[in-house]
Chains A and B, each alone.
Chain A
């Protein structure tokens, strides 16, 4: 079943040496740290750690693509904050009528570091772990299987709907509809597809729901698992390290 995910299987320590739950803990700790680290050097240090992990996972290229995607957003933040941030009064430099203030730039830099760190840390998890594995790790620890299933199903539904759209388009072409024409023409051609795609997705969701019921999905009580969770050496240690470090950073951030 095709799933909408950025996961690409590879053989690196990050992919296979770290279990999904450890990586999830890392992400949560990273995000909390990004918000509480009080100095730029700290934030930079966190970014360096994230980038090293990405390099280790051989996913630098794809991660950088996402990061450069956010570049426009960051530049905008810089411009707006640099010029208009309330509390701006220390002039950094002026280019004619444009006055850029220190406070605004500092604020923008703080936000930017947070955004970039969150993206980088998310990439460490998402590029190296399949959604099904993440969900299973959570369900094993008490996440309602229904929620886990819904998330997995949504990720599967989208590629299915895209396939459906392309088959419908083939059927339309077979009935004489031309695909040439400008953007406007193509958009007009796309809109009527939405109804049937969504409707037929609902029909297959209904089929799936029935099939799940037939397999006892809604039975109350504890689930079991065919396979034991693969416990990788040192995972527990790593998780403790992540959590402890985050707690320290939290304290540092609050005190500073």
Chain B
């Protein structure tokens, strides 16, 4: 679904590459988590998948990015909006500011693209059910909780029916309840077969929700593999990422394991096996 080949990019007026020879592929229906230290290129990668790089941020761009076989560099941003949706950290700055209700806010993107009102209504119903915000449709988007606002932001880009959803640290600014609301929404989307790329620092949550993880360090890809393999990798300490505490525990007992559990249920199972083997 997403194919990145040799992508190298630097922002205008900078020499340092923000992305260096990035190559990766995301399968249809897959949820890919992206981790890395601050400044490693995670947000830039999100922008590149959607087309903000190179269309909004001009700069030195080589390599190829395709989403559903469409070349991002050769497509107008408005066109890309129907193939890739991007959700940012700060819910407030994502709203159009021109709409007084959640319903109208969700419609905003569709209005820009000239959809018929009947289609808009259908899509609004679909996304609000999926993201459990039907009861919020007539509310003012600026008067919602953080978690609700982010779900409205997701709904607004989802209404354009992109094939891919990209989320750049969507729960950074949220409290624990908001965070779990967003991850629950992502689980629903995963069940529907949505291809998702999510950048986050929260290793435990990523391990639970992602099929594979991609680690970025200094603008380069270090690894793309399942969470268990990523967190069990011998070099993981050098990547500057958070390691799930569950994995840390397991590694204390089995330091040479090539793949370690990263979620609670997995860890419980592996620890019980460990005890059984050593009794």
Contacts and interface: CB of A to CB of B under 8 A. Distances in A.
A216 interface: yes
Contacts of A135: 98
A216 B160 CA distance: 9
B98 A152 contact: yes
A1 interface: yes
B117 interface: yes
A149 interface: yes
Nearest to A145: B112
A216 B78 CA distance: 4
A208 B81 contact: no
Interface in B62-113: 76-79, 81-82, 85-86, 88, 90, 93-98, 100, 103-104, 107-113
B117 A218 contact: no
B104 A226 contact: yes
A145 B96 CA distance: 12
B98 A213 contact: no
Contact of A226 (B95, B100, B107): B107
Interface string A72-105: 0000000000000000000000000000000000
Q: How large is the interface on B (under 10, 10 to 19, 20 to 34, 35 or more residues)?
A: 35 or more
B83 to A, nearest CB: 11
Contact of B78 (A145, A211, A220): A220
B52 A215 contact: no
A207 B79 contact: no
Contact of A208 (B47, B52, B97, B120): B97
Contacts of B253: none
Contacts of B109: 214-216
B111 A214 contact: no
Contacts of A216: 77-78, 81-82, 109, 112-113, 160
Interface string A196-207: 000000001001
Given A149-B98, A216-B82, A211 B111 contact: no
Nearest to A228: B117
B157 interface: yes
Interface string B213-246: 0000000000000000000000000000000000
A156 interface: yes
A174 interface: no
Contacts of B142: 1
Interface in B98-157: 98, 100, 103-104, 107-117, 120-121, 142, 156-157
B110 to A, nearest CB: 8
Interface in A23-43: none
A4 interface: no
B86 A217 contact: no
Contacts of A232: none
A135 B96 CA distance: 14
Interface string A139-169: 0000001000100110010000000000000
6 contacts: A212-B96, A213-B81, A216-B82, A216-B160, A225-B111, A227-B117
Q: Which 7 A-B pairs have the closest CB atoms?
A: A219-B78, A215-B109, A207-B93, A226-B107, A216-B81, A216-B112, A211-B94
Given A219-B113, A224-B116, 14 more contacts: A1-B142, A135-B98, A145-B112, A156-B97, A208-B93, A208-B97, A210-B88, A213-B52, A214-B52, A214-B109, A214-B157, A215-B81, A217-B112, A224-B114
